[in-house]
Structure 1
Amino acid sequence: MSNYNDSGWEPVTRLGRMVQEGEIDDMETALNSGLPLKEPEIVDQLLPGLDDEVLDINMVQRMTDSGRRVKFRCVVAVGNRDGYVGYAEGRDDQVGSAIQKAIGIAKLNIIQVPRGSGSWEDRSDRPHSLTHRTTGKAGSVEVEVIPAPEGLGLAASDTVRAVLELAGIENAWTKSHGNTRTTVNLAKATFNALENASQSRHPQRRPNREEAEVADQ
């Protein structure tokens, strides 16, 4: 029996129960199981010590019948700096609550990034970059991430760099187009680029996030 049962967490999904019972004990197996990831505690168990970074905080105002309502939108990325990264936005009346919401959702959006040494200039066997170039879009922003040789570092803006570092990408060239001053779209486009790289390697790795979990047999 797995020691995960001592955490006080009561899973409500099939994947959660499999993790708690020790049938699945690593994140790669969980993502490749075909079961939707709907509990952030699964990520807490399989990727302990996950780092998170707040990329943007913005105040959003909306007029209602009762007057003006103000909420905060927080953009957050999480990662273990070793091949796993997630991204999300969270909204709430309080900044702290918005950040916590975003962190929880980002854990549910976690992906495995295919790292390697994809640059023709590089002979390293260490997984310090991507295996191939990839592109992601969000709104008007498009971000391209290109494998680079070891020692180059990250040729990227601060927002793009933050997402790549959380994913464990140490060396890469990047190109950005569109309204790159919009942090939320720039961060999301970067994450989408990494997700596209992941899906090109594992095209059936996980179901669409909107799909409901199949009932237990």
Structure 2
Amino acid sequence: MQEGKLTSLSEIFEAGLRVKEAEIVRKLLPDLKQEVLGIRIVQKQTESGEVTRFSAIVAVGSPGWLGLGHAKAYQMRDAIDKATNVAMLNIVPVHLGCGSWECRCGRPHSVPYKLVGKAGSVTVEIIPGPRGLGLVADDVVKKLLALAGLQDAWTRSFGMTSTLLSKAQAVYNAFRDMHAYSDLRRFES
């Protein structure tokens, strides 16, 4: 990267390579935004008493990119930093398009087709919406879709949706599977 061989994150994914340092993502996506989705206290019982740690869920995104990370640490700031680095290592491309049958404007404001993501018992469907609709979703899903650059979409969720990590992971898995599916289509042709 320092030699100037890679100039964009897209080249890394097209070559089938994996990002192994968060600094690469920071350098190639300077307008990357970070959103702390949730922080909670977790405790473990040991012989000497309770050990308290913080668990953080962080999403990073830029139009066309989304990453999700989860980490634990003894200090809240350390947990957020670790989760941010994990999110940058887990970043995936998000293909934007206009898949709504009502719109068909051709501009990249929504998803190109219906996406389904699953994590634990939670299933999230992301359905393309017409221009001007906005993001019809709950707060967590809306934050993730906005970070990814979507402007218009409907969503439906099923299962134990009060579990923050499972819901966020289901949205991330929908975009990750979208990327994997587009890679398969590219190799078939």
Task: Quickly name the TM-score band, shorter chain normalised.
Answer: over 0.9
Where does structure 1 differ by over 2 angstroms across 4 or more consecutive aligned residues?
Answer: none
1:185 aligned residue: 166
Q: Amino acid of the residue matched to residue 203 of structure 1?
A: L
**Inter-CA distance 117–204: structure 2 relative to 1 (3 Å threshold):** closer
Measured after TM superposition, the shift of residue 65 of structure 1 is 2.6
1:178-204, CA deviations, whole angstroms, 9 ceiling, x for partnerless residues?
111111111111111111122111239
1:91 lines up with 2:86 in the alignment? no
Identical amino acids, percent of aligned pairs: 45
1:111 aligned to which of 92, 106, 119:
92
Aligned residues of 1:114 and 1:201 also touching (Cα < 8 A): no
1:32 lines up with 2:14 in the alignment? yes
1:95-149, CA deviations, whole angstroms, 9 ceiling, x for partnerless residues?
1110000000100000001110011111222100001111111111110001111
CA distance in 2, matches of 1:110, 1:146: 22
1:43 lines up with 2:25 in the alignment? yes
1:212 aligned residue: none
Measured after TM superposition, the shift of residue 34 of structure 1 is 2.0
Give matches, 1:1-217, under 5 Å.
Answer: 19-80=1-62, 82-203=63-184
SS of 2:58 mapped into structure 1:
strand
* Structure 1 unmatched ranges of 5 or more: 1-18, 206-217
Q: Amino acid of the residue matched to residue 41 of structure 2?
A: M
Q: Amino acid of the residue matched to residue 77 of structure 1?
A: A
Normalised to the residue count of structure 2, the TM-score between the two structures is 0.95
CA RMSD of aligned residues (A): 1.3
Q: Amino acid of the residue matched to residue 64 of structure 1?
A: T
Measured after TM superposition, the shift of residue 35 of structure 1 is 2.1
* Structure 2 unmatched ranges of 5 or more: none
**Inter-CA distance 125–204: structure 2 relative to 1 (3 Å threshold):** closer
CA distance in 2, matches of 1:203, 1:105: 25
Normalised to the residue count of structure 1, the TM-score between the two structures is 0.83
SS of 1:104 mapped into structure 2:
helix
**Inter-CA distance 136–103: structure 2 relative to 1 (3 Å threshold):** same
1:48-75, CA deviations, whole angstroms, 9 ceiling, x for partnerless residues?
1310000011111111233211111100
**Inter-CA distance 204–34: structure 2 relative to 1 (3 Å threshold):** farther
Aligned residues of 1:79 and 1:86 also touching (Cα < 8 A): yes
